[in-house]
């Protein structure tokens, strides 16, 4: 089963603007993209419609990683997933042009984080996105698997940028 995340242009701009803001001590910012899932012929679509950045005070000062967030930040996203049943995607950005990738730290952090979302909203599909200046990469946790699957990410505007996966 394939998974495709579609990110509309206005939302994508808002995400980038928020993630690019400097923080007092964190080297990068993170946030949450909210999406609705829909079936398509060969898999599932995640249709992004909202974004919430992590508040400044919810970062932990840890210079060994780009960003570390506290439990309050995670709880806020979990509560929304529980309340709405929306899909939640962790998002951060790497400042370069070309295909981005998940770092070993990203992979390890997400492996710890994602089961919590599956626990509170088991019927939704949760995942993570990393953005570069012009492209993106995605991973989703498709129930009941505990391992991530790569996701196609479609940046719907400006232009139409299709990242990863089989069409």
Partner 1 sequence: VSDRFSRQSFLGPGAQAAFENCRVGILGLGGGGSHVLQQLAHVGFTNFAIFDPDVANDVNLNRLVGATEFDVRWHLPKVAIAARVVKAIRSDANVEVHQCRWQDEPLALRGCDVVFGCIDGFAERREAEACCRRFLIPLIDIGLDVHIAEGEPPQMAGQVIVSVPGGPCMTCLGFLTEQRLAQEAAQYGAAGPRPQVVWANGVLASTAVGIAINLLTGWAGRNATIYFSYDANDGTVRPHPRLPFVDLRRPCSHYPDSDVG
Site for partner 1 in 135-154 (CB under 8 A): 154
CA distances from residue 158 to 5, 11, 42, 155 in whole angstroms, order as listed = 16, 11, 26, 8
Contacting range for partner 1; rule: CB under 8 A; set: 25-33, 46-54, 114-122, 123-131 = 46-54
Does residue 37 interact with partner 1 by CB under 8 A?
yes
- Spatial separation of the C-alpha atoms in residues 135 and 99, rounded to whole Å: 6
Of the two residues 78 and 125, which places its CB atom closer to partner 1 in the complex?
125
Closest separation in Å from C-beta 13 to partner 1: 10
| Contact with partner 1 (CB under 8 A) among 21, 22, 24, 41 | 41
- Spatial separation of the C-alpha atoms in residues 80 and 124, rounded to whole Å: 12
Residue owning tokens 């997933």: 81
Contacting range for partner 1; rule: CB under 8 A; set: 25-33, 38-46, 54-62, 119-127 = 38-46
- Spatial separation of the C-alpha atoms in residues 113 and 108, rounded to whole Å: 9
Contacting range for partner 1; rule: CB under 8 A; set: 25-33, 43-51, 125-133, 139-147 = 43-51
In 21-161, alpha helices (H): 71-84, 104-120
**Are 54 and 70 contacting, i.e. CB atoms less than 8 angstroms apart?**
no
Residues that bind partner 1 (CB under 8 A): 4, 6-11, 35-43, 45, 47-50, 154, 156-162, 165-167
């Amino acid at each position: 089963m394939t998974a495709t995340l579609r990110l509309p242009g206005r939302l994508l701009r808002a995400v980038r603007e928020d993630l690019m803001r400097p923080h007092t001590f964190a080297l990068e910012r993170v946030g949450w993209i909210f999406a609705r899932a829909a079936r398509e012929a060969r898999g599932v679509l995640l249709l992004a419609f909202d974004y919430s950045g992590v508040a400044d005070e919810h970062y932990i000062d840890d210079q060994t990683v780009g960003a570390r967030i506290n439990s309050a930040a995670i709880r806020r996203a979990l509560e929304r997933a529980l309340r709405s049943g929306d899909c939640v995607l962790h998002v951060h950005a790497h400042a370069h042009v070309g295909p981005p990738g998940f770092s070993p730290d990203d992979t390890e952090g997400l492996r710890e984080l994602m089961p919590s979302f599956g626990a509170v909203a088991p019927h939704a599909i949760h995942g993570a996105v990393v953005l570069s200046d012009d492209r993106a990469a995605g991973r989703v946790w498709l129930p009941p698997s505990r391992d991530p699957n790569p996701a196609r990410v479609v940046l719907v505007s400006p232009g139409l940028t299709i990242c990863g996966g089989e069409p």
